Amino acid sequence: MNSIVCLKQVPDTEAQLKVKSEQIGTEGVKFIINPYDEYGVEEALVQKEKDGAGEVSIVCLGPDRCVEAIRTGLAMGADKAFHIDDPAFDGSDAMATAKALAEQIKKMDNYDLIFCGKQAIDDDQGQVGVALAEHLNLPHASLVTKVEVSDDKKSVKLNRQIVGGEQIVELPIPCIITAQKGLNEPRYASLPGIMKAKKKPLTPVKAADLGIDTAATGAAGSKTKASNFSSPPPRTKAKIIGGESAEEKAASLAKALREEAKII
What pLDDT, in 10s, does the model give residues 137-170? 999 999 999 999 999 999 999 999 999 899 999 9
Please report, for the chain, the start and end positions of each structural domain, with discontinuous segments joined by +: 3-216, 233-264
Most confident option among 4-18, 138-152, 236-250: 138-152
Closest to 99 in 3D by CA, of 220, 190, 181, 203: 220
* 46 vs 240, higher pLDDT: 46
Please compute the mean of the pLDDT values over residues 207-226 and round it to a whole number: 84
Lowest mean pLDDT among 105-114, 162-171, 254-263: 254-263
SS3 category, 256: helix
Which DSSP symbol is given to 236? Answer: P
The structural architecture, per CATH, of the domain 3-216 is: 3-Layer(aba) Sandwich (3.40)
Can you say whether the dihedral through the CA atoms of 176, 179, 182, 183 is positive or negative?
A: positive
Q: Which residues of 188-204 are buried (b: 16+ CB within 10 A; e: fewer)?
A: ebeeebeeebeebebee
Chain mean position to CA 85: 18
| Predicted pLDDT at 21 | 60
Q: Please calculate the CA angle 23-24-27 and round it to the nearest 5 degrees.
A: 125
Confidence (pLDDT) at 227: 76
A 10 A CB-CB count for 27 gives 6
Interval 103-122 mean pLDDT: 93
Q: What is the identity of the amino acid at 114?
A: I
pLDDT of residue 256: 87
Report the alpha-carbon angle 50-52-56, nearest 5: 85
Bridge partners for 141 per DSSP: 177
In the three-class reduction of DSSP (H, G, I as helix; E, B as strand; rest coil), residue 214 is classed as helix
Please determine, for residue 22, whether its predicted confidence score (pLDDT) is greater than 70: no
Do the beta carbons of residue 130 and residue 144 sit within 8 Å? Answer: no
Q: Rounded to an integer, what distance in angstroms lies between the CA atom of residue 114 and that of residue 3?
A: 6
Counting beta carbons within 10 angstroms of the beta carbon of residue 236, is it exposed (0 to 12), middle (13 to 18) or buried (19 or more)? exposed
pTM: 0.83
Cα three-residue angle 37-38-41, rounded to 5 degrees: 90
Strand, coil or helix: what is 154? coil
- Is the pLDDT reported for residue 236 higher than 80? no
In order, the DSSP letters of 101-121 are HHHHHHT--S--EEEEES--T
**Does residue 100 contact residue 85 with C-beta atoms inside 8 Å?**
no
